[in-house]
Amino acid sequence: MLNPTEQTRLLQMESSFSSEFGSAAKIAVRAPGRVNLIGEHTDYNDGFVMPAAIERSVLMLAAPSNTGRIQVHALNYNQSSTFSIEGVQPTGDSRERWSNYLRAMVWVLQGEGISVPGLNMVVQGDVPLGSGLSSSAAMLVAAGLLLSEAAQSPLSPVQLALLAQKAEREFVGVNVGIMDQYISALGKQAHALLIDTRSLEYEAISLPVSGVSLIIADTSKRRGLVDSEYNTRRSECERAVEILSQHLPQIKALRDVSVEQFLSLQQHLPEPVRSRAKHVITENQRTLDMAEALKLGDMQRCGKLMNESHQSLQIDYAVSCRELDAMTEAARSLQGVYGSRMTGAGFGGCTVSLVADEALENFQRELPRIYQQHTGLEAALLVSKAAPGAERIL
């Protein structure tokens, strides 16, 4: 079901499609971006995450063509790209790099034996780029849904998510986890998903439909250092498992270590390996605790867990930055804020705050003012309820 903003965008896209191709679109899909409520840097440690789909999305329209090619126009860039559906390769043209996500899904579906037809397409997204809200996963999931529908080979949401992950890893060349694709494909309105990234089992956790809103605040600090620091953190976590497995031979990942076991064995870990392991192990427990708190409707507890998560990311995992810290501190200084934390890989990007509805107006006015006083940067706020996952809309 489209929200009002998406309905307006769809009408504009239908007009653009008609102008571009001289016909009406036959298929339309949407796929949302996401925000992770808690469970950060746990996914590559086989742990738990809890994202929610947001009311920002990628929309795609298409109609079959008998050309053997995909011809796609991106409204965000006012640029077009055309490529043959045979022997799909990434483009080397920097101006058309956005089309690699579409090319990736053609390639991965063909690898599954799905015959993708020639198509005329229009794509438009309003998930902010580079802010850690998974615009790339939304693009891949939307493309996978549209292409499979056009091929009359519908995929289950889980298949769609797994193929989108494979496309990003093997064609785009980014070694991503499964969280972003999973929530974009499987999101449920008014729910977060508690995802076990080892088994890929998931549980929809109800979020309050009234009384509380998620506020995503973009720090305007583009994320730097993520790739190099990500690789370092990953190797530090692997080192922690290597050492702890001498005492706990059954463990395969930090997900297998309880908080109590860590506390009794932490003296065997050198710094910063000890701190990195502490974050992952306690973050897994916080994620499970937050699921229980949400089921009980305990927003105070949820907020406390979010605050503890940010502190752990800031101190133990060292992936925060001055701007993220300033934003969360500003949020916590305001009335009606249950909790606030960085979301995403870190070193910039966004925060997410749990805010009582009666405090929304004051929060939206005061947070940017306080943040700018401390950093000189402008904050962009996005108020969102938890949105549904990917779906065909035409």
Catalytic residues: 180
Q: How many CA atoms lie within 13 A of 141 on its CB side?
A: 35
For residue 167, give the H/E element and its range: helix 157-167
SS3 263: helix
Residue carrying structure tokens 């043209």: 93
Output the CA angle 49-227-39, nearest 5 degrees: 10
d(CA 265, CA 283): 18
For residue 97, give the H/E element and its range: none
d(CA 165, CA 140): 8
Q: In this structure, is the dihedral angle defined by the CA atoms of residues 299, 329, 39 and 35, taken in order, positive or negative?
A: positive
Q: Tokens standing for 368?
A: 């940017």
**128: cis peptide before it, omega within 30°?**
no
Which of 63, 57, 143, 131 is closest to 100 using CA atoms? Answer: 143
d(CA 221, CA 347): 8
Alpha helices in 297-380 (DSSP H): 299-315, 322-332, 360-375
End-to-end distance of the chain based on CA atoms, in angstroms? 11
E strand residue ranges, the chain: 27-38, 48-64, 69-74, 79-84, 119-125, 191-196, 202-206, 212-218, 337-343, 350-356, 380-384, 391-392
SS3 126: coil
Measured from the Cβ of residue 197, the count of other Cβ atoms closer than 10 Å reads: 22
d(CA 220, CA 238): 32
Q: 257 exposed, middle or buried (CB, 10 Å; 0-12, 13-18, 19+)?
A: buried
